[in-house]
Amino acid sequence: MTVNTLITLSTFITVNTTDTEHLELHPSFVRPTGAFTIQAIGKVMVETNGLDRYSVYAEQNGNPYLLEIEASDKKIVGFILYQNVLTITPEENEWPKTIHDITGIDIDLDSIHYRRSLGGEIPNIDLLDVIEEIKTHNQTYSCKNQIMQFERAVFNETAELLKVAVEVIEEIEQAQVSFYVGVQLHPSVLTIAG
């Protein structure tokens, strides 16, 4: 599986984060330096505005990252760099409260306040369903994610994004909630080779 043959599991990818140095992002966010090791590539199974959407799950120096890419043919037109800063696996009886907490208007992560990007002032809204076909080095499987997007202003018009994803992989009987902190960047900050 490739991003229109641009990215494979063995592709060399770097991200120039120089333009983010002035941003006070979440303290757990580590700006990447150097090449990523790609763990998996996901293709979102719903086309958005005529664009294909891909998720590149990668690692660098032990830090897990998610590179969300929007592409049209072989041209990358949108890019968000996320770092997974927290993953929890609620007990069965904890799921209702967890879902309630991540669908509210506001959420705090390590005492940093984020506001939900969708749904206006409705107290709690449904999570958004996202189905991905994911390929790793060893297998291919379908992952049903349910997500909620939050944000906070960090500089002028720039927002830090907080993506909360309920990730369910039925093939391996895994369910967890991951918290990804990130920022939207211009596609030109990506270097892709190989």
pLDDT of residue 47: 65
96: in domain: yes
pLDDT of residue 175: 87
Q: Quick one: DSSP state of residue 92? A: G
User: Confidence band (pLDDT; 50, 70, 90) for 4?
Assistant: very low
112: in domain: yes
The count of domains in the chain is 1
Residue 183 in this model has a pLDDT that exceeds 90: yes
Distance CA 186, CA 22 (A): 16
119: in domain: yes
Residue 179 CA: distances (Å) to CA of 28, 89, 134, 193:
11, 12, 19, 29
Phi, psi for 129 (deg, rounded to 5): -85, 130
1: in domain: no
> Quick one: average pLDDT of 33-52?
86
User: Confidence band (pLDDT; 50, 70, 90) for 41?
Assistant: very high
Asked if residue 17 lies in contact with residue 36, where contact means CB atoms within 8 angstroms, the answer is: no
7: in domain: no
Tens-place pLDDT, residues 121-159 = 999 999 999 999 999 988 888 888 899 999 999 988 889
Tens-place pLDDT, residues 58-111 = 999 999 999 999 988 778 999 999 999 999 999 989 999 999 999 999 999 999
Question: What residue numbers bound the domain in which 160 lies?
Answer: 12-193
